[in-house]
Every structure is written in C-alpha cells, then in structure tokens.
Structure 1
Amino acid sequence: MNDDTGRGFPVPDGADNSTVSETAAGAILTIDLGAIRENYRRLKARLAGVRCAGVLKADGYGLGAAQVASALIREGCDIFFVALLSEGIALRKALGPGHDIFVLNGLPPGSESEALAAGLHPVINSIAQLGAWREAARAAGRKLPAAVQVDSGMSRLGMPPADVEALGTDAFDGIDIRFVMSHLACADEPRNPANEQQWLAFERLRKALPAAPASLANSSGIFLGPLYHYDLARPGAALYGINPTPGETNPMLPVVRLQAKVAQTRSVEEGAGIGYGHTYHSRGPLRLATISLGYADGWHRRAASAAWFEGVRLPFVGRVSMDSIILDISALPAGRLGEGDLVELIGQSQSLDDAAAHAGTIGYEILTSLGARFHRRYIGA
C-alpha cells in the first residue's frame, strides 16, 4: 500500500515490525490501524473543529509509534507527543520532516543540540528547562518552537504556579510558544471537583504567560465537554481502544487482538497438582492445554483470567509462568484443540479493559507491557 500523504511510514496490511516470524512466535498480536484511524475520527467529531494531536509515548502505547503515526497522518494529524527525547528521535527518523513532535518530559540537561538536530520541540516544564532552551535559541540565532506546561494541580510535570507568576517579561525571548498546556489528573471521573479546580487554575496561569494557543484535554478530557477543549486536544489511550469513559459503554473501537499458541495438551487425574507451588489441584479428571505466553510477555502473574477458543471460555489453572499458562480445556470436545492452535486472550471475547480488570490494573499498563516476542501483524492500514 502506498502512503497516500507522500509522507510517513507506509504499512501494508499484514506487515509487521518485529523480527519474530509468525511460525516461530509463541503468540500473535494483531493491531488494527483502521480502528485507530476510526477512533481518531470519533474524537475529532467530538472536538468540533478543535485540532487533535496524537500521543505516541511508550512506542505508541506499545503498538508501534511509527505505524500508529502513519495511520494518524492519513487522517490529517500533524502534531505528535512523545514522552522522551529518545522516542522523539526515533519517531523523527521514521517519519522524516513535516510533522511537529513535542517531547512531554522536556529535554534532559545538555541534550538541546540533539533535539535541534532532530527537529523536535520541547515541552518546557521548569525554569531550568526554559533557560536552557532560551540559550539554545540564542546560540542558533533564531526563535525555537516549544510548548510550555504549567502545573494546574496534578503535581507531576509543569511549572509550579509560583514560578509562572515570577517569570519576567524577557523569560521567553527567542522562544516561539506554540502551546500553553497542562494535564488533567481526574478527567476519567467527570464528577470529580478536581477537574473544575484544574480548569480554573489553568485559566489563571495561562493569563500570566504570553498569549498562545492552549491545550488541556487528554482522552477523557475530550468527553468533559467544550470548556476543556481549548485549541488542541492530546488523546492517547482512547486512540488505542482504552475506554475514556469508565463505567459507561466504550465509545472507541477495539484495536488489539492477542492470541497464543497451544504448546502441549494433556489429561490429568483427580488430585493432580498444577503449576508452580501446586496452588491448584484438580477436583476430577481434567484436560489441560499449555499456551506459549507468560509474564515475560507482559501477561501479569496476578492476572487470573481465561482464554477463549471458538467462543468457549478456557479458565487459567495454577500460576502464570514466565513463558506459559495452563488452561482447563475440559469444556471442549476431546481432540478439538491441539498443538499450534490459537486461543484468544484479548479480542472479541475479552476486551483490553476486561483483561486489565482481571489483573487489578488498567489498560494502559497491559498495552505498554506487551512484550517483544510476539509476531506483530498490522491490519487495516
């Protein structure tokens, strides 16, 4: 498939960015780039003309930043956010020039020349970062783009209010402020009063800075309404199918499907100890299947869950191992499941958010934990 923008990283259906072949891999991760594009369109529709960026930190939430960016570029997205300078450098190499890439954590001291060479824009979070970028602009002899982040109440990144209010009129000499931004801590809880408190703080702080477009809404923030939209929204999780409105029907399409191969099947008698520590003993004759996926692949050891085959639930028995999980397949006809067959762990039968709930965590952690041993297959490009 040709890249119809003339830019970006073309990804044909069925392509993968791993060195693991489908036959050699123990599990297959299918990533639907068409679903990512549709999720972006759905978010854009809610924003009603407000610009929409794409957050690609942690290698596109573990799904491949270059591939996800290519899909978003085809939907008109031209602003991307990564967390680290190293992520920005890698993304720039994949995309080439022509797209704005902002580094959310700012630049480590002394790395300003690397950012300049890669055409990256820092998100300035402190007076020290501001001074270093101002000096870089002086040395370059030109204005340098940046975003400025203020801490409106999350206490994570951004200039504290006292620092913002103490800035002099020449603090931003040589800096082209593309956005003033902040980040919502409780946007996935629409009734939490912290949202309004942060909005009020952001309003106050941005008025103390040079006039510039504003950005506050993350994925869940988009669903708080137009008051939070400003000039640019920065969705991440929602693009990848994670529900931005917990407790309500997910308005996003699922993006990933995870399937693992059966490595071996066996039958055991009543009383057989199963898995490490014999934490499970069979209460009668069982048929078992061992699948080639474990905590080394990002499937959390505490994630007591199940796999599915042809719509039949196959519960885990015993502990999750580093490279394998044991399933009770007694609900299937004898001989129906064999070595090399695929069972599903995330997909139509179990959503990403459901899998996360079983693990006592969130979809973000599941996605970004998925390992490098999978065969990765991209569809819907």
Structure 2
Amino acid sequence: MTTQTLEPDVLIFGGGVAGLWLINQLQNQGYQCLLLETGALGGAQTLASQGIIHGGLKYALGGALSNESEAIAGMPERWRAAMAGQGPVPLNGLDVLSDTQHLWSAGSVASRMTTFFASKMLRGRIERLRRGDYPSALANARFKGQVYRLDDLVVDTESLLDVLTAPVRTRLLQAPDLNGRLTWDERGLREVRLDGAVIRPKVSVLAAGEGNAALLDGAHARHLFTQEESQSRPLKMVLVRHRLGHSLYAHCAGASSKPRLTVTTHPLPDGSLVWYLGGDLAERGVERNDAEQIAAARTELDQLFPWLDFSGADWATLDVSRAEPRQNSLAKPDNAYARRDGDLILTWPTKLTLAPDLGDRVEALIREHGPQPGPAMAPPRNLPLAPLGQPYWHHCFARENH
C-alpha cells in the first residue's frame, strides 16, 4: 500500500460535538481540516447527553443568575439561528424534540420561585403557565405545583450527529489505536502515522473529551500545557421505556440550586417512549450500583408523578463521564474552554449547548496566531472512516430483555 502524506491546516482529535462543530466551522472558513476518532462518532458524551440547549436558567434556582448562566444566556438563540442556516455552522435539517423546556415545582419551592422569576432579570425569558397549558404528564388534578416555560430547546442528538457529519464525512477518519503513532516536538504535534497515511498538521486541536487526558500526557512531556489537567465528573443516568404516551422535557426544582430531576423524552421506532433521567438523581447515583439507582428512580417518579403507572416500564442505567478542564474543588467551568500553546490548542465545550462558543474561541486563536487557510486539500484516499455512533436507548433494553 502506498503511504500518502497529508498536510492539513488543522488536525482535530475527537469526533464528539466539539470536534464535529470545529471541523465544520473551520472548513467553512477555508481551513483544510482532518479529524481523528478512536471509537464511534458521537459515541461518548454527545450521544449520551440529553440534547438540552439551554441558556443557563436551570442554574438560577439559587436565587440569582451566576457567572455560568450569564455566559451561556445567548446559546439557544445561537442554535436557533444555526438551524435557520445562519452563522458559521448551519444546522439545516436538525430535528428538534421540543421547542421549549419546562420547569415545575411545588410547596415552598414554588413560592420562592414565583418571587424570583418575576424579577426584571428574567422577565421575557421565562413564563408561568396556566393549568390548561401544562405538559400532559403534569396535567393532572392531583398536581398542585406551578409550571414555567423556559426559552430553551431540546435537539435530537442522533440528528445532530447526522447534520454535523454529512458535510465533512470524508474527513472523519478512524484511528482506533494512537499508541506509538504520535510524534511531538516543542511546538506541538508534528506527525501522526496511520496505516496508509502520514499526517503532518500545521495546528492540532485536542477535542477528545476524556481522551484529552492521554493526549495531554504527550504534550506535557514536551513542556506544553504544563498547568492544564483534565477532570471527569460522573453521572449515573436512568432510562425508562414506557407506553404512557407522555413526552416531557422539564426540570423539577428541588430544595437546592440544582434541578432535582431533569427529564427528556426520546421516541423509539416501536412507538414506545424513553424518559431519560438526569439532574440531582444522576449526580447522586454515582454512589449507587445499578439496582439501587433504578430503585431510587422508581421512588422519585412515584413521588413526583403518583398519577402515572410505571409498573410496566423497562429500566436501564448509563454511566456517563463529563470531561472538563480541572477546576478548584471540581467546580463546573463557566463557559467553553480553549487555550493555545505553540501549535497545539486544548479544548472542552464543557456542555453541549456551548459548542458555538467553543467554535468562536478556537477560530479566534487560529486567526490570531496562524496558520492562514491553505490551498484546497483533497479528502484522503483509501483510509477507513470513523463509524457513526448510536444512542444507548436504541439497544440497552433489548440486551437486558434477553
């Protein structure tokens, strides 16, 4: 086999939403890019996310908008513009599961929220609903709380993967084993040797989520990004397959500043629905085994939806690790992260909704420090393309039921 030499302007590691957003944005700006993925495209954090494109309001439950919520306040508008074909990464054809999200509460929490959400700070971004406008899962006479509509949306992550991969499909390469294939120098990554190709990028971008940790080891050995480390914040999500007919995209406000429970709904081809459960349930669930977490989820749904019968539902769990730059006390970063050292750029979007922010930050680093867009580069020849991942709910129940 003849070894081909490829010299892209930018080489991106990682085929989740971060890497896929970046390759689309940079290609659209004239940069010649390639992307390497060791597993399946979207297969780690992206397809395991709930698809929530939020503007930070769920972080405002403590009584004031935080730095984090201010940083992402404009993200729903950015995504909606992209779906209308505007901006650096058009998302025409992206399937939206819900144009809005809801927030519901009861008791003393409801009283506190009423005062807070009436403030000028949030006016126009959130709306208290009349009972006739409640989502069907909460439209029961036994529900005594309050429901608010948020200016957020929920996208189908499988559709997002399709939309982001289609324009750049021939540039998304499979690289299942990078051990011993990377050559570093004091400026960054000089060369990647694949079976059938040698890649010599002008700039490399680490956008591999949890995979950034191993890549950083190579950078550290060359005294690059010596102060940067990665961190992982685990979740134990719960999936509930049912035929109750209620689609819900909502956060339940609890006693703390975090949502007690976050629910998104994902339809399956057989007509059933999957409620995908996150929030405080998923954060506390890392201390439980699978059976204990499912028991906790059953109890939570029985308490919050006593009028719904989940006795015939199927249950599964999914362990998810959210990869981020290390922060003091494992705190959540306030916005997308992009730093440059030599010819190496280190990135984390930190959450799905911040992908446009990450794209802007990385493009700015490249425009400021180079390289300039190079001549058009033909897609690689005869190299395996990275496969598309699939959401966990398409196969987890079948495996458990056999």
* TM-score (structure 1 length as normaliser): 0.29
Q: Which has the higher contact order (CA 8 A, sep 6+)?
A: 2
> Which structure has the bigger radius of gyration?
1
* TM-score (structure 2 length as normaliser): 0.28
